[in-house]
Structure 1
Amino acid sequence: MNKQHIRWGIIGLGRIANSFAQDIPFTTNASLQAVAARDGDKADAFAQRYGATHAYDSYNALFQDPSVDAVYIATPHSLHLEQATEAMRAGKAVLCEKPITTSPSELEQLTAIAAQTDSYLMEGMWTYFLPAVQKAKQWVDTGRIGKLLHVKSDFGYPQLPYSPDKREYNATLGGGTLLEMGIYPIALARLFFGEDPINVDQQSHLAPNGVEDDTTTLFTYPGDRYANLASSFRCKLQNWTYIIGEDGYIAIPDTWRANRCLLYELDTLVDEFDDKRESLGFHYEVEAVSQDILEGKKTSKIVPHSTSMAFQLQIEQLRKMAGSLQPCSAAL
């Protein structure tokens, strides 16, 4: 691609889209070109707030805008398959917020369409791009904690009062804590162990409409190694990750948005890292994806399609074990 930066469009202008747009100015290779919402007034206000050139009251209008190179999809999970498909068929690169789809079969369809249209497609697991998380991975890979034995990770915020119509609980929108929050701990276990567990145990609590609202999971890996993961709509969890080895452990505070990590030997802090950023942290992902697109790549080496499929397969397994309702979305 013979250009210096990627012009982004955003659809679905909620909280996370605001964070994404707010961080684009911290990049060196991206700009915000267009935004779209069902409500034209909302799109106009968002565009004015973040300096987008165009605002649309139709997602398709944004997909057809020739000045847009890439689309960030920040709508509910159940809409991702349809909207990412439309964007790629319109010739756009796609960064789709996690979870990229609500089932493995949907992801198979989406990656097939990416191949058919020769399009860039990546799931927006922004946590993988944070320098603190990458530093923790480097410490593990270079033997700073010895043999890896345990990963403990959780993510939970109260989503109360309960309502079956609230997006987080709405079964037709892919509601439930595993797709909404549990994907973060699952992703951290995948990042550090780098393989599938050989055994899975789980305890879950279901909301009145049948979607899971609290889960605790134990993954067992070869060599008697374990990941203890949790997610919740019922309470605030610590939201930290601990990577524990024979010789020490790493703590990552507020892992999903981490700006620092801490290395311990027993109770002694021996090393620490702080990225000292001024942004929210989304710009690391935006910069990396924009560079991929500029270089003509079709997938990310940080979040390849195989990693997204691993998330989907594990979440599907856990939802079946919990007995929670399956999300409703139409196959294309």
Structure 2
Amino acid sequence: MTTWGVAGTGGMASLFLDDASKLTSGHFNAVYSGSLSRATAFAQQHKLDHAYDDYNAFVENPDLDVIYIAGVHTTHADLAIRALQAKKHVLIEKPMTLNVTQAQQIIAAAKKANRFCAEALWTRFTPTLESVISDISSGKIGEIRHISANFGFRVDLEDHQQRLLNPQLAGGALLDIGLYPLLLPLFLLGQPTEIKANVEFSESQVDLASDLILTYPQGVSAQLSYRLDAYLPNKAFIAGTKGYVELEAPWFASNRADWCMADQPIESQYFALTNRGWGYEFDEVNRCIAAGLLESPKHSWQDALSLATLLERIRSEYGPIYPFEQP
């Protein structure tokens, strides 16, 4: 059984640990935060043995096998590389990094340390998406012609210091929720030939909402939306020459897929979704480590690099460019 530590004490860290605590393939027993009081409170909440405010001491704990990097986006690359240099396996919360260069540096560190490394894009590990992608790959809906997906909810737009609206913390919609809709066309169709976007910015100059159209050869397209200022249906569908499949809300953690083949009645397919769904990637990391793998075949290093490439491409053309990235 692998022993885990978590770097970060935010909401995502708590959600992940809640799911992991119900599983037996590994367990958490340590937490790191820049604030010892936050680390101690988190350790008490999740019944962890150790709380650290010294990152070096944290990653040098000989009892830890894996570090889950769950801090703000701007810390991912540094914390992951330091953990790998300490010979720890790492699972890095999405997005893995802010750009392709950082992602390449992390992967190089994983290779040098001979340690497992993955981006925590939990949707890719759920049984619903695994099954749907398998059926699509087998030709169930024919050739893909169009993909549509969205993800939206509303945040407090007056609180400019919250993480999602803070440019110093790489806030904004794209890196936090926009990458989910992008996942479907990227995985099924690859990099688009053209991207058109209509982006709305907050007062703090992070991207608040966006509508994207991705264009591929032979007229294939993807229409994607993500917003931090409104609630969207959070559904997705993939249309092909023989029919289509729709993933019910929330599609990124769905337990139902509706298939419509030509003019036939809709056939609903149901899947068990254990807890909130984060446990699937926890089990996958533990499985890969036990098997001696350095990356997961479900979301490989190349998959993470492809996503980083697309995110960087969108930001370079449409923004946001963060203050610390300015020349």
Q: Is the contact made by 1:8 and 1:32 (CA closer than 8 Å) also made in structure 2?
A: yes
Please, which of 79, 85, 89 is the counterpart of residue 89 of structure 1? 85
Correspondence 1:123 to 2:119: yes
Within a 5 Å distance, the mapping from 1:32-47 to structure 2 comes to 32-47=28-43
Deviation at 1:327, TM superposition (A): 6.1
Deviation at 1:239, TM superposition (A): 1.3
Deviation at 1:132, TM superposition (A): 0.7
Deviation at 1:44, TM superposition (A): 2.8
- Most deviating of 9-18 and 112-121: 112-121
The letter of the residue matching 2:267 is D
How many positions carry a matched residue from both structures?
A: 325
Q: Is the contact made by 1:172 and 1:329 (CA closer than 8 Å) also made in structure 2?
A: no
Within a 5 Å distance, the mapping from 1:70-109 to structure 2 comes to 70-109=66-105
Correspondence 1:173 to 2:173: no
Correspondence 1:114 to 2:110: yes
Distance 1:218 1:21 in 2: 36
Give the equivalent residue in structure 1 for 2:46.
50
Give the equivalent residue in structure 2 for 1:219.
214
Distance 2:43 2:163 in 1: 24
- Residues 150-208 of structure 1 show CA distances to partners (whole Å, capped at 9, x for unaligned) of 11011111122244322112112111211111111111222222x21111111111122
Give the equivalent residue in structure 2 for 1:161.
157
Gaps of 5+ in 2: none
SS at match of 2:164: coil
TM-score, L = length of structure 1: 0.92
Correspondence 1:280 to 2:279: no
Correspondence 1:242 to 2:243: no
Q: Is the contact made by 2:36 and 2:51 (CA closer than 8 Å) also made in structure 1?
A: yes
Give the equivalent residue in structure 2 for 1:202.
197
Q: Is the contact made by 1:99 and 1:179 (CA closer than 8 Å) also made in structure 2?
A: yes
Distance 1:23 1:48 in 2: 17
Give the equivalent residue in structure 2 for 1:299.
295
Q: CA RMSD in A?
A: 1.9
Correspondence 1:16 to 2:12: yes
Distance 1:37 1:228 in 2: 39
Distance 1:14 1:310 in 2: 27
Distance 2:263 2:27 in 1: 45
TM-score, L = length of structure 2: 0.93
The letter of the residue matching 1:25 is S
Distance 2:238 2:179 in 1: 17
Please, which of 254, 278, 286 is the counterpart of residue 290 of structure 1? 286
Distance 1:323 1:135 in 2: 34
Distance 1:267 1:50, change over 3 A: farther
Q: Percent identity?
A: 28
SS at match of 1:60: helix
Q: Is the contact made by 1:157 and 1:233 (CA closer than 8 Å) also made in structure 2?
A: yes
Distance 1:102 1:170 in 2: 15
Distance 1:283 1:323, change over 3 A: closer
Q: Is the contact made by 1:216 and 1:231 (CA closer than 8 Å) also made in structure 2?
A: yes
Within a 5 Å distance, the mapping from 1:51-66 to structure 2 comes to 51-66=47-62
- Residues 243-297 of structure 1 show CA distances to partners (whole Å, capped at 9, x for unaligned) of 1112211111212222222212357554333223341111110001111111221
Deviation at 1:329, TM superposition (A): 7.0
- Residues 113-157 of structure 1 show CA distances to partners (whole Å, capped at 9, x for unaligned) of 222222211100110000111111122122221221111011111
Please, which of 230, 255, 261 is the counterpart of residue 259 of structure 1? 255
Give the equivalent residue in structure 2 for 1:183.
179
Distance 2:271 2:15 in 1: 18
Which structure has more RCO (C-alpha within 8 Å, separation ≥ 6)?
1
